[in-house]
Every structure is written in C-alpha cells, then in structure tokens.
Amino acid sequence: MRFGAPLAAAVFAILLWQVVVVFTALPRFILPGPLLVAETWWANRAVIAENTLVTGLEVLIGLVVGSALGAATAIQLASSRTARVLVQPMLVFTQALPVFALAPILTLWFGYGLGSKVAMAVLIIYFPVTSSFFDGLMRTPEGYLDLARTMQASRRAILWQIRVPAALPSLASGLRLAAVYAPIGAVIGEWVGSSRGLGYLMLLANGRAKTDLMFAAMLTLGVLSVLLHLVVRKLTARMAGEAR
C-alpha cells in the first residue's frame, strides 16, 4: 500500500485531464489528451531518454554540490558570530533576486554547457539547505549543551558531537526541499541557453507547436523529480533515524 496513494492520485489526475479534454473540445495544439501524449512519448522515447540523462546529470551534480555548500555554510554560521553578521544578510538578499534574472548572468559566466545549469541548480537549493540546517544547529537542546559544558567539552567537540547530530533532522528537511527545487534550477538554466536537456526539448517543441511533445517532456521531468524526491526522502529518513 506504500505506492497506493500516489498511484491513485496519478490515475485521478489522468482521468480529470481526459474529462477536461473531452468536455472543452480544445484543439490538440492547445491541450492534447493523455493518450496522444503517451503515444508521442513512446514515438520519441529515444530523444526524451537522451535529454533526460542530461537533465538528470545536471540535477544530481547540482544537488550534491549545493547541499555540501549549504551544510558547510550553516556550520560556519553556527560557529561564528562574525559570519552571521556578515554573511546571513547576503544570503537573504540573494533570495530577493528573481531566479530568471540570474540565469543569463550564470550562462555568461559559465557558458552554455553543463556548468551554468549546475550553477543554477546549486543557487536555487543552496539557501533552503543552509537555512534548515542552520536553524537546527541553533536549536540544540540546552540540556545537551549544559551537560557538555559541565564535562568541560571543547567548542569543537560540542559542535561535531552534539550540535551537528542533533541538527541532522533539520538537514534532512532541507535536503528534501532541495530534491524538489534542483530540477527547477536545471530546467531554468536550459531555458536560458542550452542545446540539450528536457528544458531545451520543451522549448524546441513549443517553438514548433508540438504541444504533445512538450507535455511528454514536462511529464518526464515531473516523474524524474518525484523519483529523486523519493530517493532523497528514503536516505534522509535513515539519516534522521540514526541521529535520534
């Protein structure tokens, strides 16, 4: 029954989609039906698979790099008051900037290849991971800290043996958010400038009025995101369980 609810939700969404197509009688180039999209996906499965691998690689690299940088930043912020004063406002400021405004700049800096897409994915997940982990580090139970001070533990020992393990559930929450946001960052980077990837394929299909192919690529991206989220949730659940 673990996959029963998601499967039921998917079936319901497809049925609702078909009902809307039938009762609105919209042209295929505006809203293709699920059967047409499935046929298009199968007919173009090789192209979709090739571009999925490209986007998947961008997402995975961005997720690993962004999560590592976010965790390291959170530890540094929790360890240094000076870092909190100087760096934390900058992190908040970066979230006020529109993501689409930064994508062309990253493309200019890193080119049209893999680098700009990974940088976009890193940028979009960096703050959620940093913020979640930092909150966990700053909310260590006072009883743990008092006991450590009584035993004359060093600041380094308190950080790595008490505060970091206690904050792992918060880090897990940030990683689960990152798994959802990382594909968004990669696709935005592909929209700005790319010759491969699911984002590029969606733009190409849209420009040629192949709405069915655009839907097929979009649904493939959705499935990729869901699978990535499930894997990360499984791994982080184990990590949070060990922390307890």
Q: What is the pLDDT of residues 120-172, one digit of tens each?
A: 889 889 888 999 999 988 888 777 777 777 777 777 887 788 888 888 888 99
> Would 38 be classed as within a structural domain?
yes
Alpha helix segments (H runs only) across 80-197: 81-96, 99-110, 114-138, 142-150, 155-158, 164-192
Percentage of residues of the chain with pLDDT beyond 90? 25
> Would 10 be classed as within a structural domain?
no
- How confident is the model at residue 185, as a pLDDT? 87
> What is the number of alpha carbons within 13 Å of residue 68 lying toward its C-beta?
6
**How many domains is the chain partitioned into structurally?**
1
Residue with tokens 């006991």: 147
Phi-psi region of 80 (alpha: psi -120 to 50; beta: other; left: phi over 0): beta
- How confident is the model at residue 1, as a pLDDT? 46
d(CA 240, CA 168): 6
| SS3 per residue for 44-112 | CHHHHHHHHHHHHHHHHHHHHHHHHHHHHHHHHHHHCHHHHHHHHHHHHHHHHCCHHHHHHHHHHHHCC
52-88 per-position pLDDT tens digit: 999 999 999 999 999 999 999 999 988 888 888 888 7
> Would 1 be classed as within a structural domain?
no
**For residues 58 and 113, is the Cβ–Cβ distance under 8 A?**
no
6-48 per-position pLDDT tens digit: 677 778 888 888 888 888 888 888 888 889 899 999 999 999 9
Residue ranges making up the domain that contains 81: 33-243
> Would 143 be classed as within a structural domain?
yes
> Would 16 be classed as within a structural domain?
no
> Would 83 be classed as within a structural domain?
yes
> Would 21 be classed as within a structural domain?
no
- How confident is the model at residue 48, as a pLDDT? 94
Domain CATH code at residue 236: 1.10.3720.10
> Would 26 be classed as within a structural domain?
no
Pick the closest to residue 93 from 65, 127, 68 (CA basis): 127
pTM of the full structure = 0.84
